[in-house]
Amino acid sequence: MSGVVIPASNLLSIAAGIVAVGALLILVNAILTARWAQRAAYYGVRREAQRTANRRLALSVSAFVLAGALLVMSWSMPRQAAQPPPPDATGAEAGVAVASPTLPTPSSDVAPTAIPTPGSATPTPQVTASPAATAIVQPAPAAQPAPTLKATPIPEPTSSLISPLPTLEPTTLPAPAGAAQVPPNKRLVLNAIASGVDANGAPMGMSTTFDRGVETIYVFFDFQDVPPSALLRHSWFRDGGSVFFRSKRLAQNGRGTDYVSWSPPGGFQPGLYEVRISLGGVLQFVANFEVR
């Protein structure tokens, strides 16, 4: 027995529902990734996790658009009911009873013919229908129309789910009056993180992990074509909270190497540290290290 044929409009509605469910799962995964990115300790890890969350968010939006397109296509197609299977040659599967003709017998169906006598009317033979010759025809049940699937549109994500995400672009800090504005392409490059400086101004004890109580941490960087009046700002963070910041003007120009440093009272306490270097209000790089 062959199956029922489903119209193409119903198939498009089912496909739209499946795509919408997949898009919803991708959206939930993007939200969870973004929340995890906010709790990451390092700036680089947060930025990469945020990019992954944004890509998944864009993928979920595309899937929602595809589901909507499939749903609109299904609505635009003419509605058709599910078609029943074709009847078999014998008619048994269609539910129709086929009558089998039966010839009447002289003993029960046809009355005996009387011999006419002169002067009497000729009797008319009486024929009685046999119960076997009567066929009871049952009409085939009418095919019930398939219920129309109505997909419920999934709402677009609200801004409250996206607003907590951190900004990926560098934060522009306001420069004091009189400071030279440095173009964004004039960037400083991280050279080393050290715990000391030798007589020639080179870094000593370079590492990204330091012992608790270290007195001073130096962040060395290379610069190129920086105007002498450019304002350099370095901000220090421990476990995501600001602990120190300071600004100075670079006295050198052209190319060279310089450093910034910080000596907290009592030495550095254990934690994850970030040092953000900005030049002329433009973020240049972020240095990460750990104190154990």
Q: What is the pLDDT of residue 259?
A: 93
* Residues of the chain where predicted confidence (pLDDT) is lower than 70: 1-5, 79-186
Q: Is residue 275 part of a domain?
A: yes
Q: What is the pLDDT of residues 197-238, one digit of tens each?
A: 999 999 999 999 999 999 999 999 998 888 777 889 999 999
- Contact of 104 with 40, CB cutoff 8 Å: no
Q: What is the pLDDT of residue 34?
A: 87
Distance of CA 134 to the CA centre of its chain: 67
Residues 154 and 268 in one domain: no
Residues 264 and 153 in one domain: no
d(CA 60, CA 52): 12
Residues 154 and 196 in one domain: no
Residues 194 and 251 in one domain: yes
Q: What is the pLDDT of residue 11?
A: 83
Q: Is residue 239 part of a domain?
A: yes
Q: What is the pLDDT of residues 118-137, one digit of tens each?
A: 555 455 545 454 444 444 55
Q: Is residue 22 part of a domain?
A: yes
Residues 153 and 270 in one domain: no
Q: Is residue 44 part of a domain?
A: yes
- Contact of 53 with 34, CB cutoff 8 Å: yes
d(CA 90, CA 223): 93
Residues 157 and 270 in one domain: no
Q: What is the pLDDT of residue 108?
A: 45
- Contact of 194 with 204, CB cutoff 8 Å: yes
Read off the pTM.
0.40
Residues 207 and 156 in one domain: no
Cα torsion 250, 252, 254, 257: sign: negative
Q: Is residue 253 part of a domain?
A: yes
Residues 18 and 72 in one domain: yes
Strands (E), 115-210: 189-194, 196-197, 203-204, 209-210
Q: What is the pLDDT of residue 4?
A: 62
Residues 53 and 154 in one domain: yes
Residues 153 and 264 in one domain: no
**Residue 75 parent element (H or E):** helix 43-76
Residues 38 and 155 in one domain: yes
| Number of domains forming the structure of the chain | 2
Can you give the residue range of the structural domain that contains 15? 8-81+149-161
